[in-house]
Structure 1
């Protein structure tokens, strides 16, 4: 009989020291695992070491978890282990701008994103038909100043009910409370329609037009309690000139936003993004 192997991704960070790569590869070798992809980074400014390893193993997830725990303790590692066969359970939140939502749904159904979109949450009804066309449950949760706390509680129930590993704010134009930001720490990605740190907050295209910028951009970042200041995952720009109106900039920006958000979601769902304080390490 032949034993079928499964593919896993191990990510880790720890204080830097000699021999970490040797120890990790040796750990996997001793268990008959085959390394398929590996990358590492030493941050000399912080003294931290980061690593991502994809490997094949005949051991199941639980067995590897149990064996990795004491090994990791010896290096003070923060680590996680993921089976590549399991797409990341994802909930998307959106308001009235649907270009990023539409792009993510298409990429998902086309097999271009290793996610499993379990639900869409919106404070408007605009995209319930789009959700239905992809057979994704749509949750309309209106938000007002008076009902914000209840609305967030309901949204969090949806996220928990779907056991979501990732929440994507695909132009969800509501500021999340500090409490919900903490609950979603490290697993919520927002797309902001400017090249941060420029033009934070509302209506960045209006701010950009007022300043006569020659480049407009988009930034995908992790959500934190500090508005538009979370660790940046991906950015891109498009050129502009004096002839462009606010409407022109907005239309141009939609494509950039969609592409930037899709790349960020892909890298996160492939476990290529590791947090490094208020920055990120990305193994592309």
Structure 2
């Protein structure tokens, strides 16, 4: 059944995600802070662009957001011209941004106080996953809101799972980023060790990926890592933002994450190398640079 959907935030993730909704036959309205991006989207997909959030959400059954960080989320949801104040009370508000548990709680409460349902639904899979409609989506919402929203999320999700009430999606995404940080550093070290040992790195990966060392990162990132190509994928700047969220939440809970904290500092080194926009797999570039300095 076609519903009125508003999508706010047409970056490298939101742009194709909104496109999948339009291709599924839903009535999609888009808003982007850079208005020209929204106009470009309507040239590629069947939908409408609005110049203000208030106008974009006025008749929405569902509002999806995919913005940058905590301040952006506060701006689009809590402003008097924002989503909560202007969307219908029956609307389900779904946020795909990776943000802190704190701001998620604030937005969820504000939506609840107005009679709206709120779902935090951060995603994993990167730009490629968004474009191919194969994202993993971790949801925090009431069962009723999740059941109503899931057919929409299935338009661009390969695995859409309710993790509990509002806030649980963001906590699950933190777990995801903690795991990725350790995996990418381990993969970088194994490739660097193979390289320095005179082994054929591609042959090494072909062998060990058949066993217990196999991972998504190994399958999808090792070829470009070996070639030293990092102009793609999930940027280091965004990973540092996410790891800061993880480490802050860990401190609040009295949890120590030594490997995550160490890898976060390694990413700071990559930023200092000028690699803030490089893919997270660029940790190998750091090791190669250190090796050249010795």
Q: TM-score, normalised by structure 1?
A: 0.35
- Structure with the bigger percentage of helix: 2
- Structure with the bigger percentage of strand: 1
Q: TM-score, normalised by structure 2?
A: 0.34
